[in-house]
Chains A and B, each alone.
Chain A
Amino acid sequence: MMSGLGRGASGVGAGGSGGRPGSDDGRPVLLRGGRVIDPASGVDRVADVLLVDGRVEAVDTGIAGPDDSEVIDCGGLVVAPGLVDVHVHLREPGGEHKETIASGSAAAVAGGFTTVCAMPNTDPPIDDPAAVGFVAAEGLRAGLARVHPVGAISVSMAGERLTEVGEMVDAGAVGITDDGRPVSDAGLMRLALEYARTFDIPVAAHCEVLSLSRGGSMNEGVVSTRLGVMGIPNVAEDAMIARDLLLAQHTGARLHIQHVSTCDGVHMIRMAKEAGVRVTAEATPHHLILTDEAVDGYRTDAKMNPPLRSERDREGVRGGLADGTLDTLATDHAPHHYDEKEQAFEDAPFGIVGLETALGLMLTELVAKGEIDLRTLIERMSAGPARAFGLDAGTLRRGAPGDVTIIDPALEWTVEPKRFRSRSRNTPFGGWKLTGRAVRTIVGARTVWSLES
């Protein structure tokens, strides 16, 4: 089928707009006069960006560009590498009432993301090369963001035996994970890390000791005590982070820790990195912005796993993102139908959507408030995640894919869930007034979304 294509090649295949049905005429694109921020190449200055044949041709001042170029005025705007989200749930196959690969891709590009990694906990799970091929093909068919499948670690995500990882990689999988169903068996996790090392792909870990979190619906603390909701203690996450870091050290494999929510988790990852462990890690917008107080009133749109934690944890995660211990922002975009969230708190499923709010939230709540600078944010949303998953993305270097996110850092807007491109509206940020957002998203030198359209 697609065997023989390495990950890089598959990435190009997914991105090369030339082969994409319904793509534009392939005219060169000249992005004129924006503030170009490309952390991977150290660029941060007002410049022009020229995209030719789906790739970055040049970043410089005063580029003339070929006569047939489409010229886009970027004065007053930020021109960034296309944003990358390595943690999204597109729900297809099996959960099409929540999201499809097409609707999720539309949500991605509306939020400024040009590349997303689709988690395998669908129904059935993405645990064989045919399923991986399906996700990749549907991503291409949608023709919006680049959709990279992530395969399951274990067959049926049952936590018992390894999937055919090599074949999944050849079919386009960029990593493996049993996200949502942590690998409880330490021996299996060790094998997964060792086997994945063969293919130099990361093993992405949802760190949770189930016997410590079982029955819990929110962070264990004074708020859960007050609400009478069973809690998920920090140690349920921390104990598994510790285990997986030690396994990564032992195996020499690449470990990617998903959605870190605890202060001590960040601390352990920092120590592991200092010790040379090959680990990367994520922070989500919600763990960076909210605490478990947001659950008060039994708000199911503030229910996710790992749960919103304490103020101390939020500060720890912020510190981790700022100093690079957490390499990447990731949304953990987890759409659910409103019927499923419209339940008593403990009966509602975990997860919130994030693709269409992440950038605006980060600009408003972290950058504008001086927690991190714009350049760092863009690094954590482009080069950082691309590096974690070995993706050909996240930079505007000459020859890189022509994926660009154009950001208006001053645009004021209000989060209106009913206007989401996603099929789901489960966000705790509805009604928030934000400043800054993506206004145009370009994939393979083709505008796939703009605010005016």
Chain B
Amino acid sequence: MTAPRFGLGKDLIGLETLSGDQIRGILDTAEPFKEISERAIKKVPVLRGKTIVNLFFEASTRTRVSFEFAEKRLSADTVNIASTGSSVSKGETLVDTARNLEAMRIDMVVIRHGSSGAARFLAERIPSNVVNAGDGRHEHPTQGLLDMLTIRDRLGKLDGVRVCIVGDVLHSRVARSNIWGLTRMGAEVAVCGPRTLLPNGIEELGVRVFPRIEEAIEWADVLNVLRLQLERMQAGYVPSLREYNRVFGVSSERLERAPRDILILHPGPMNRGVEIDSDVADGPHSVILNQVTNGVAVRMAVLFLLAGGEPERAEAAKGGE
């Protein structure tokens, strides 16, 4: 079988600009990589000799560790740079960091930054591959990909699947990557939350809006429940966490009234008892830990492909070829 040549380009900045074939290629590439993490010796020499810098301008445990495992299991040499709250303004740091990285001839940069557009900013200034690990409220493409992989694992497809993103869509890069990726793969996408947390013009991205969680549950096959940051309440977007839980919280009582089983995703970290109740998070329909596992495989796939690999070679590559 000869697949069309698969080009991801130099960088992965977001899912908005990816084609269905590109997304499918990444997900298909992730499949064989899943197995590596199940081995006793979790390492293949795919990226041996490559240097990768994990550049985290924002605190992150889950995403950073996931990337680091992905890199190490592919045998890359990695360096972590965490730069939060430096006295220099973020942008100046970014320009100078870019120049320094360029001077050190590193192969790839994984960047997490608090400003939307920061990953693209870096990608336009250095020849290395850049992977966006979350930029402001813009995109978090590997999260979107691992969400899609997890849904596909369970439901066997993405086309026609109804996914509702619940919560703080306004400030969420996860929501945007989900919307672009899922709609591109033929899923139906909705958002649900208080209007204060839904951006103006969200319908124009091709999603429907459910004001109430009950309606969303009535409609959806999948709920992707977003974290409600405490500071949103402090900023007045929602009057109280209590009310948020009572009105928008995903509870087992609400899910029991659903016409079908609903798959529950959450990008983490969870606020148990706020956007999601513990019995839902720990319940039979929760795939939250599968997401974490899939995160490593998807990131391995992305790194492999950006380094010049092709989807059909992933199976061979993991054998050490």
Q: Which residues of A contact B (CB under 8 A)?
A: 220-222, 224-231, 233, 297-298, 339, 342-348
Contact = CB atoms under 8 A, between A and B. Distances in A.
A344 B205 contact: no
B137 A343 contact: no
The 3 closest A-B pairs by CB, nearest first: A343-B91, A298-B117, A228-B138
Given A298-B117, A344-B90, A346-B116, A228 B173 contact: yes
A339 B89 CA distance: 11
Interface in B13-32: 16
Contacts of A347: 89-91, 115
Interface string B111-144: 0010111101100000000000001111100000
Contacts of A298: 116-117, 120-121
Contacts of B139: 228
B13 to A, nearest CB: 11
B8 to A, nearest CB: 19
B176 interface: yes
B201 A221 contact: yes
Contacts of B121: 298, 343-345
A345 B117 contact: yes
Contacts of B230: none
B253 interface: no
B176 to A, nearest CB: 6
Interface residues of B, number: 27
B138 A344 contact: no
**Which of B16, B95, B117, B200 counts the most chain A CB atoms within 10 A?**
B117
Contact of A344 (B94, B173, B176, B201): B94
Contacts of B120: 297-298
Contacts of B113: 344
B295 to A, nearest CB: 21
B205 A225 contact: yes
A226 B115 CA distance: 14
Contact of B137 (A220, A228, A339, A348): A228
16 contacts: A222-B200, A222-B205, A225-B200, A226-B16, A226-B176, A231-B199, A233-B200, A339-B95, A343-B92, A343-B95, A343-B121, A344-B91, A344-B117, A345-B121, A347-B90, A347-B91
A227 B135 CA distance: 10
Contacts of B270: none
Contact of A342 (B91, B136, B199): B91
A79 B120 CA distance: 47
Nearest to B90: A347
Contacts of B91: 342-344, 347-348
B123 to A, nearest CB: 11
A297 B202 CA distance: 19
Contacts of B321: none
Contacts of A229: 116-117, 136-138
Given A228-B139, A298-B121, A345 B201 contact: no
Given A342-B95, A344-B116, A344-B121, A224 B136 contact: no
Given A298-B121, A347-B91, A228 B200 contact: no
B204 interface: yes
Contacts of B176: 226, 228
Contact of A345 (B16, B95, B116, B173): B116
Nearest to B169: A225
Given A227-B117, A229-B117, A343 B136 contact: no
Interface in B198-219: 199-202, 204-205
Nearest to A341: B91
A224 B199 contact: yes
Nearest to B120: A298
Given A342-B95, A344-B113, 12 more contacts: A221-B201, A222-B205, A227-B138, A228-B136, A228-B139, A298-B117, A339-B95, A343-B94, A344-B91, A344-B118, A347-B89, A347-B91
Contacts of A343: 89-92, 94-95, 121
Contact of B115 (A224, A231, A345): A345
A432 B226 CA distance: 44
**Which of A224, A229, A233, A345 counts the most chain B CB atoms within 10 A?**
A345
A230 B138 CA distance: 10
A230 B137 contact: yes
Contacts of B115: 344-347
A115 to B, nearest CB: 36
Nearest to A298: B117
B138 A225 contact: no
B113 to A, nearest CB: 7
A346 B135 CA distance: 11
Contacts of B173: 228
